[in-house]
Chain A
């Protein structure tokens, strides 16, 4: 018998009585507040920041204010911001390694945890989200869902092959318990509330 058949047969023989262990209905729990304010507070707790635009400032100007260093390699995946390199010119993970800053639109955000959802539909090259040094994420405030229970009702979890909830930048506390933001993935993650422009191409929701 194959390992598969042996395992399944043993499980069927050994398992407790299924009728004694019914499946509960999906949970509908938790705070239903889906406001940008709650999202921002949760994001700050996870080490992320908000990128605020001053009156009259374009997104490019706001980004330049946050990242003033000259000569940065910037990959923009959104029509709202200008980059220095196009995603089409980054065909492999290795070619994406020198990217300093990636600008991408999240499919949605979660107020409870300050998480943003990215998939291959937004990233085009999944590894870019982790090789880039920094990330600016555009989020439509109407695409914030209240909590993890409501989040898992989103259709993206049934369509994306790779879907990552990023909650602030990478972090570690593996050396003597000292919390370090910017471990092996992005060193910083900033979210900018920008409503989705329905008529603009290139960043359509999945």
Chain B
């Protein structure tokens, strides 16, 4: 699919220009990171948990087909209808068929990133189904017609005043309300009647268990459990990679998930669904949507270990200062930047560059995904596939030539030093030089290290790389 790449840098520039939003966003996410650190320090076994979580996930991914079949068998035995969707379109069709067959026209939903991947809401809206997001942050984003900007806290880029304006429009509340409690109460009161009268409910799933046919939903607001238990029909959409072998394995992941995400020991609700309630109906849709293909990518398959905690986003200096929406994708932040290109290489070709490669994402990842290394690998892949902006490509091309030939490199360095000291500003700070955009270029030095070394160590044995010159 030919699509213009997301202009992350331009969107980030706009985000940075708004100081109050930027400052809150940066501080809020860093606070989540610090709360995560505090939880980590309380548990001497933290690194052991991470290692185990990673090992279990890698084992599952190496045996994924078997575990999916085992889950399907056990879930069916418990009365759950199990469906398989190769892609988003098939997923949406399955949901519509379930609703159609039951004459359901109203659907309440808790947050699910997979349904965002599938773009479910517009599909159902076009078929006359009213879909209401029940998670507060996700509802704010739905009412504002935006994607979630963070996988755990969807509206983290908004301030109270933004929410007040959106709720005033949708719920008729005070547009100048400045108390989050008042606004959260407005959401509770607006959601209740919708929940009570909905024809069907939908949730995602954080984990599912092959051994028992159970799926697990971890949330805080209570909206997912309302969506699952109040209507007669419960549909759960889950990515195929979220399976764990045994019930006993859940302990490792539950202990890591909310501590990594929000810095709380556990989510307020950890709900286990093993079969329909009396008189009810339960459906699980297992969604592939590119995952089975990703499993075959030698450098990137471990990104499927992700449990969607968002810790890598909270710690990332680029994410904190550019906002999730600037990535123009369902998944933002470091994990988004390594997943999104598998959905559309050209459209998301800019995202692996939205990183300083500082490795903080890798350090906080509870399942030990080497995120920063995959970011670097993606840059190599994208260059090989010619998915690189013209200026960056040309600069890298020239840099490659220079670095490969020390003589040329030294001449260029000497030239650059004299250029830095003699060229007028307009020649240094222009669109061809993104490094000059938000920073001053370094002060030129009188002498390079190489010429200093030559002058002061004339008797020293020539370094091996000097041979390249001859």
Binding site for B on A (CB under 8 A): 2-4, 6-18, 20-24, 26-27, 29-30, 42, 45-47, 93-94, 97, 112-113, 115, 120, 126-127, 129-131, 147-149, 151-153, 157-158, 160-178, 180, 183-186
Q: Quick one: given A14-B296, A15-B62, are A184 and B223 in contact (CB under 8 Å)?
A: yes
B292 close to A7 (CB less than 8 A)? yes
**Is B49 in contact with chain A by the CB < 8 A criterion?**
yes
Segment 243-284 of B: residues with Cβ below 8 Å from A = 245-252, 254-255, 262, 264-278
B136 close to A152 (CB less than 8 A)? no
Which B residues are in CB contact (< 8 Å) with A147?
A: 251, 255
A12 close to B248 (CB less than 8 A)? no
Which of B155, B160, B270: most chain A Cβ within 10 A?
B270
Which A residues are in CB contact (< 8 Å) with B296?
A: 10, 13-15
B137 close to A21 (CB less than 8 A)? no
**Is B229 in contact with chain A by the CB < 8 A criterion?**
yes
Binding site for A on B (CB under 8 A): 24, 28, 31, 43, 45, 48-49, 52, 55-56, 58-59, 61-65, 68-69, 78, 84-86, 90, 134-137, 140, 153-156, 158-160, 163, 180-181, 183-184, 187-188, 191-192, 196, 212, 214, 220-223, 225-226, 228-230, 240, 245-252, 254-255, 262, 264-278, 286, 288, 292-293, 295-296, 301
B276 close to A113 (CB less than 8 A)? no
Contact of A131 among B48, B58, B230, B254 (CB under 8 A): B230
Instruction: Please report the C-alpha to C-alpha distance between residue A166 and residue B158 in the assembled complex, in whole angstroms.
Output: 29
Which A residues are in CB contact (< 8 Å) with B245?
A: 23
Instruction: Please report the C-alpha to C-alpha distance between residue A46 and residue B188 in the assembled complex, in whole angstroms.
Output: 20
- Of all chain A residues, the one with the shortest Cβ separation from B159 is A176
Q: Please list 20 pairs of residues, one from A and one from B, whose beta carbons are closer than 8 Å in the complex, sorted by A's number.
A: A7-B65, A7-B292, A12-B65, A15-B296, A16-B301, A26-B246, A27-B49, A45-B265, A46-B265, A115-B270, A148-B250, A157-B214, A164-B225, A164-B270, A175-B180, A177-B156, A178-B181, A183-B136, A184-B226, A185-B222
B90 close to A3 (CB less than 8 A)? yes
Give the Cβ gap from B294 to chain A, nearest Cβ, in Å: 8
A24 close to B55 (CB less than 8 A)? yes
Give the Cβ gap from B427 to chain A, nearest Cβ, in Å: 45
- Of all chain B residues, the one with the shortest Cβ separation from A150 is B251
Which A residues are in CB contact (< 8 Å) with B181?
A: 178, 180
Q: Quick one: given A17-B62, A149-B248, A176-B159, are A130 and B222 in contact (CB under 8 Å)?
A: yes
Instruction: Please report the C-alpha to C-alpha distance between residue A23 and residue B153 in the assembled complex, in whole angstroms.
Output: 32
Q: Quick one: given A14-B296, A162-B274, A170-B222, are A184 and B188 in contact (CB under 8 Å)?
A: yes
B288 close to A3 (CB less than 8 A)? yes
Contact of A178 among B78, B180, B266 (CB under 8 A): B180
Q: Quick one: given A15-B61, A152-B247, A167-B268, are A176 and B230 in contact (CB under 8 Å)?
A: no
Q: Quick one: given A24-B55, A174-B155, A184-B187, are A18 and B62 in contact (CB under 8 Å)?
A: yes
Instruction: Please report the C-alpha to C-alpha distance between residue A94 and residue B292 in the assembled complex, in whole angstroms.
Output: 42
Contact of A172 among B61, B63, B221, B255 (CB under 8 A): B221
B273 close to A162 (CB less than 8 A)? yes
A162 close to B272 (CB less than 8 A)? yes
Which B residues are in CB contact (< 8 Å) with A176?
A: 24, 28, 158-160, 163, 180
- Of all chain B residues, the one with the shortest Cβ separation from A29 is B45
In the A-B complex, the 7 residue pairs with the smallest Cβ-Cβ separation, listed nearest first, are A185-B222, A14-B296, A170-B222, A174-B137, A161-B275, A10-B292, A175-B180
Instruction: Please report the C-alpha to C-alpha distance between residue A17 and residue B159 in the assembled complex, in whole angstroms.
Output: 48
Which of A6, A47, A165, A186: most chain B Cβ within 10 A?
A165
Which B residues are in CB contact (< 8 Å) with A21?
A: 55, 58-59, 61-63
Give the Cβ gap from A167 to chain B, nearest Cβ, in Å: 5
B269 close to A158 (CB less than 8 A)? no
Which B residues are in CB contact (< 8 Å) with A149?
A: 248, 251-252, 255
Instruction: Please report the C-alpha to C-alpha distance between residue A167 and residue B257 in the assembled complex, in whole angstroms.
Output: 14
Contact of A169 among B84, B266, B268, B277 (CB under 8 A): B268
Instruction: Please report the C-alpha to C-alpha distance between residue A30 and residue B240 in the assembled complex, in whole angstroms.
Output: 29
Which B residues are in CB contact (< 8 Å) with A157?
A: 212, 214, 247, 272
B136 close to A167 (CB less than 8 A)? no
Q: Quick one: given A7-B84, A11-B295, A23-B59, are A166 and B188 in contact (CB under 8 Å)?
A: no
Q: Quick one: given A127-B229, A161-B276, A184-B191, are A167 and B55 in contact (CB under 8 Å)?
A: no
Instruction: Please report the C-alpha to C-alpha distance between residue A133 and residue B168 in the assembled complex, in whole angstroms.
Output: 25
Instruction: Please report the C-alpha to C-alpha distance between residue A4 and residue B82 in the assembled complex, in whole angstroms.
Output: 10
Instruction: Please report the C-alpha to C-alpha distance between residue A130 and residue B252 in the assembled complex, in whole angstroms.
Output: 27
Which A residues are in CB contact (< 8 Å) with B62?
A: 15-18, 20-21
Which B residues are in CB contact (< 8 Å) with A167?
A: 265-270
Which B residues are in CB contact (< 8 Å) with A129?
A: 225, 229
Give the Cβ gap from A190 to chain B, nearest Cβ, in Å: 15
Instruction: Please report the C-alpha to C-alpha distance between residue A81 and residue B274 in the assembled complex, in whole angstroms.
Output: 30
A7 close to B265 (CB less than 8 A)? no
Q: Quick one: given A167-B268, A172-B221, A184-B187, are A16 and B84 in contact (CB under 8 Å)?
A: no
Instruction: Please report the C-alpha to C-alpha distance between residue A198 and residue B286 in the assembled complex, in whole angstroms.
Output: 43
